[in-house]
Amino acid sequence: MKGWTILAAALAWLMPAAAPAQEPQTTYIHAGRLLADPATGRVLTNHTIAVRGGRIVELRDGFVGEGDVVDLSDSFVLPGLIDSHVHICHENGPDDALRRVRQTPADLAIDGVHYARITLEAGFTIVADVGEENDAIFALRNGIARGRIVGPRILAAGNALSPHGGPGDPAGYRDDVGHVLRRPSLCSGADDCRRVTRETIHRGADLIKIVATGSVLSDTAQGLGQVFTDEEMRAIVETAHALGRRVTAHGHEAGAINAFLRAGGDSIEHGTNLDAESIRLFRANNAWLVPTLLAGDTVTRWGNDPNSGFSAAIREKALLVGPRMIDSTRRAHAGGVRIAFGTDSSVSRHGENAREFGLLVQAGLTPLEAIQAATVNAADHLGIADQAGTIAAGRAADIVAVRGDPLADVRVLERVSFVMRDGRIYRR
């Protein structure tokens, strides 16, 4: 016993006394104009946002606090922007076929480090990556969450689910090469799709993305119609929901979009061709539309340029899709469909995500509605409304600012002057 007492005394002498717990520092942001809750549309003037430990702790009338003060008294301050459709580890181009053969998941992750930084600096504090190689995107997401890398918070779907022979199956290669490039997210038949859904979630997916129709950038002439059977889509949705994950679908043609919504799917990406039944189903299911007008705008330009380097099959589909997207979004919006902001950045260049705002306004949204799509709506769509989308006590301190008034000219959001994510400043 005595030996233990001596050992304990020696250890006590060796160990430094515990330092008194340090109060995290408070930062006071002086906001000249403040859209704290885009849902209300109310713009406050001369308010202080107190931030501590990565969270918003208080909103106060007037400019108060001293010490660590951020002077945005000449700026318009709003919640960090959310893009619910990116592929942050690559950018598409006419050399995609070669890139897919050459790039390892490590290459993708390292490119992702670069694109993540410029996306955050453009004011996007949260993104959903809806289709990227598991090893690359999960490592990038986790590295950012651990504070090793600068970037937006990422919610990641991992590899998108596609049927064999569907748009997720590598096309345009000799058979043996195409087989090597296949990802583990191809499935055929309801049971197989249940297995792949479970495996994708087990591997680390925050949400499930499926490719419900043909895709513009898949190098086949198979069109843009439904590729999964109704039964396969039901199996995926039921399995994902049972495991607490939402399911979003890439969808161009109305028939497939309607089948996915009938299967209980949570949201549609692109929504190029919507009919009256689609709009009815969106509303009945409280589902979200993520229009990705910027992708439509980008591929239309490729489609019209015979020297773009893209194959004739791709250019033909691009010209079918691009011009219809704005019209479909206009009809959906007029019909009361809930819209969440997403760009499909990778088709367009990373860091230019905010160009989507101007296109949403062209499709009939007011500037305030476009801002709601990228804040409160996207947060709700992604299941994080209790953490993000508004500037309020208890929320993550994700805050951006612009010069000028985005409610008068939404395109000022293409030039953010201040970015804070989880209480840390990345642009000032």
**Comparison of 49 and 314: residue with beta carbon closer to Zn ion:** 314
Question: Looking at 344, 380, 398, 414, which residue binds Zn ion (CB under 5 A)?
Answer: 344
**Comparison of 266 and 344: residue with beta carbon closer to Zn ion:** 344
Cβ atoms of 423 and 52 within 8 Å: the answer is yes
Any idea which residue has 């499926």 for tokens? Answer: 210
Q: Which stretch binds Zn ion (CB under 5 A): 193-201, 230-238, 341-349, 385-393?
A: 341-349
Q: Which stretch binds Zn ion (CB under 5 A): 137-145, 155-163, 329-337, 339-347?
A: 339-347
**Comparison of 206 and 344: residue with beta carbon closer to Zn ion:** 344
Task: Fill in the per-residue mask, 287 to 326: x = in contact with Zn ion (CB under 5 A), - = not in contact.
Answer: ----------------------------------------
Any idea which residue has 């050992």 for tokens? Answer: 7
Rounded CA-CA distance 99/221 in Å is 21
- Give min distance, CB of 309 to Zn ion, in A: 20
Q: Does 356 bind Zn ion (CB under 5 A)?
A: no
- Give min distance, CB of 272 to Zn ion, in A: 13
Q: Which stretch binds Zn ion (CB under 5 A): 98-106, 234-242, 340-348, 375-383?
A: 340-348
**Comparison of 37 and 344: residue with beta carbon closer to Zn ion:** 344
Q: Which stretch binds Zn ion (CB under 5 A): 75-83, 216-224, 338-346, 377-385?
A: 338-346
Cβ atoms of 264 and 243 within 8 Å: the answer is no
- Give min distance, CB of 324 to Zn ion, in A: 17
Q: Which stretch binds Zn ion (CB under 5 A): 55-63, 149-157, 342-350, 367-375?
A: 342-350
Any idea which residue has 């931030």 for tokens? Answer: 51
- Give min distance, CB of 77 to Zn ion, in A: 30
Task: Show the tokens assigned to 302.
Answer: 């490729």
Any idea which residue has 């998941």 for tokens? Answer: 105
- Give min distance, CB of 212 to Zn ion, in A: 12
Rounded CA-CA distance 400/61 in Å is 19
Strand order through the sheet with 416-421: 55-61, 44-52, 26-34, 69-79, 399-402, 416-421, 424-427
- Give min distance, CB of 79 to Zn ion, in A: 24
Which residue's Cβ lies closest to Zn ion?
344
**Comparison of 297 and 344: residue with beta carbon closer to Zn ion:** 344
- Give min distance, CB of 219 to Zn ion, in A: 16
Rounded CA-CA distance 380/150 in Å is 24
- Give min distance, CB of 344 to Zn ion, in A: 4
54, burial (CB in 10 Å: exposed 0-12, middle 13-18, buried 19+): middle
Cβ atoms of 184 and 135 within 8 Å: the answer is no
Task: Show the tokens assigned to 98.
Answer: 């070669």
**Comparison of 129 and 232: residue with beta carbon closer to Zn ion:** 129
Rounded CA-CA distance 162/324 in Å is 24
Q: Which stretch binds Zn ion (CB under 5 A): 120-128, 200-208, 343-351, 379-387?
A: 343-351
Amino acid found at 46: N
User: Could you please report the per-residue DSSP string of 185-218?
Assistant: TB--SHHHHHHHHHHHHHHT-SSEEEE-B--TTS
Q: Which residues pair with 1 in a beta bridge?
A: none
Number of residues that bind Zn ion (CB under 5 A): 1
User: Strand, coil or helix: what is 59?
Assistant: strand
Rounded CA-CA distance 328/257 in Å is 13
**Comparison of 48 and 134: residue with beta carbon closer to Zn ion:** 134
Question: Scanning residues 129 to 168, which ones bind Zn ion (CB under 5 A)?
Answer: none
Nearest to 262, CA basis, from 245, 246, 243, 278: 278
- Give min distance, CB of 130 to Zn ion, in A: 6
**Comparison of 48 and 248: residue with beta carbon closer to Zn ion:** 248
Q: Which residues of this protein are in contact with Zn ion, per CB under 5 A?
A: 344
